[in-house]
Amino acid sequence: MTIIDVARHAGVSPMTVSRVINAEPGVRDETRRLVEAAIATLNYTPNLMARSLVTSREIRIGVLYSNPSAAFMSGFLAGVFEEASARGAQLQLLKGEAGKPPAPAAIERLIAGRIGGVVLAPPMGENDAVRAMLADAKLPVAVVGGVAAGTICIGIDNRRAAYDMTRHLLGLGHRRLGFVLGNPDQSASRERLAGFQGAAAECVEATVRIVPGDFGYASGLVAGETLLDDPAPPTAIFASNDDMAAAIVSVAHRRHLDVPRDLTVVGFDDSTAAVTLWPPLTTIRQPVRALAAEAMQRLIEAMRRGRVSCSAAPHVLDHLLVERQSTAPPPA
């Protein structure tokens, strides 16, 4: 099958089919759907070599990441790889260690590798030094899970999501609440804290204890010990991600506490960690894979248009509160 066959089947011009395949603007939604249906019906696969010649550039994208949550990064990289494969893009991955950005020399080598744009996984998107290097290189940048001026920003409403979860805990009857912070350098952490505090403030009977964390499992262990050592420990603990929530469940089990009969624990992300422990976690579903794929898609569109600077107004995807077996009313 060729692009001409697809055009004939959809009743449009070959140029229109090309625009749909390359995610270019100027195509009506109805027409785009017709072309996509024709592609699916005919099982058409674009010739990547031909696409490269048409666009006069090879799609090469750098991906910078250094996130302590293995579960989050698994979903993120899956979304990046799937979208890159669908669009014929080549990826160059660059990893920092222990939540720190890669060395400047490594970023310079990445830029010198003729990449056309960069996707930044959290917390890279909010690192001023990294963004400054990419801005100097005049590269379009997509930021996942953060807000940064001049970039494509993809995320969810973290404040609203944390508010919804806290209201859920209050609705179960919990009044002694613990909260574990995420990485303090990330805006998502601050937004989740604000959502938690906003909901808790609406209940005059609620008391809260907030302890530090960094999204890593080890920090969740420390946070769990700290909260459960209180003379009047919380009956419900809300961790800023699933990795830390899983660690708190582990601490509770070591203390012979039943989750959720003795202690309710909830997380954030709906990662693999949420469903691979017992009991499975009640959590906020953040569509990590979809966020990464959306960032790739919008970055490639910006590259094709020759745009370097983009609006920092985030593209917001929906979240969902997923109830599982880690929550119950507080003990009598």
Query: Using one digit for the tens of pLDDT, what is the confidence trace for 46-85?
Result: 654 444 444 445 688 999 988 667 778 888 888 999 888 8
β pairing state of 117-120 and 141-144: parallel
For residues 305 and 70, give the distance between their C-alpha atoms in angstroms, rounded to a whole number.
34
User: Residue 321, SS3?
Assistant: strand
Q: What does each C-alpha distance from 240 to 13, 98, 184, 186, 209 come to in angstroms?
A: 50, 18, 11, 12, 14
β pairing state of 90-95 and 60-65: parallel
Q: Tokens 């099982």 identify what position?
A: 43
AA letter at 332 = A
User: Residue 280, SS3?
Assistant: coil
Mean pLDDT score, 259-283: 95
Q: Are 153 and 146 in contact (CB under 8 A)?
A: yes
For residues 265 and 205, give the distance between their C-alpha atoms in angstroms, rounded to a whole number.
20
Q: Are 179 and 170 in contact (CB under 8 A)?
A: no
For the chain, give the mean pLDDT.
88
* pLDDT value, residue 258: 97
* pLDDT value, residue 16: 83
- Classify residue 85 as exposed, middle or buried by CB count within 10 Å of its CB (0-12, 13-18, 19+): exposed
Find which of 32-46, 78-92, 140-154, 216-230 is predicted with most confidence, using mean pLDDT.
216-230
Give the pair of three-digit tokens for residue 79: 């979304």
* pLDDT value, residue 50: 46
Q: Are 88 and 46 in contact (CB under 8 A)?
A: yes
Percent of the chain whose pLDDT exceeds 70: 93
* pLDDT value, residue 185: 83
Q: Tokens 């072309």 identify what position?
A: 35
User: 109 or 323: whose pLDDT is higher?
Assistant: 323
Mean pLDDT score, 6-28: 80
Mean pLDDT score, 166-185: 96
Chain-centre distance for alpha carbon 4 = 38
* pLDDT value, residue 312: 58
* pLDDT value, residue 47: 55
Count of residues making up the chain? 332
**94 — phi, psi (to 5°)?**
-135, 120
Q: At what angle do helices 242-254 and 217-228 cross, to 10 degrees?
A: 50
Q: Tokens 């910006």 identify what position?
A: 302
- Classify residue 185 as exposed, middle or buried by CB count within 10 Å of its CB (0-12, 13-18, 19+): middle
Condensed to tens digits (0 to 9), the pLDDT of residues 293-323 reads 999 999 988 887 776 666 657 789 999 999 9
Q: Which of 96-100, 205-209, 223-227, 292-296 has the lowest mean pLDDT?
A: 96-100
CB atoms within 10 A of CB 259: 22
The answer to whether residue 210 scores a pLDDT higher than 80 is yes
What contacts 51, CB < 8 A, 6 or more positions away?
21, 22, 88
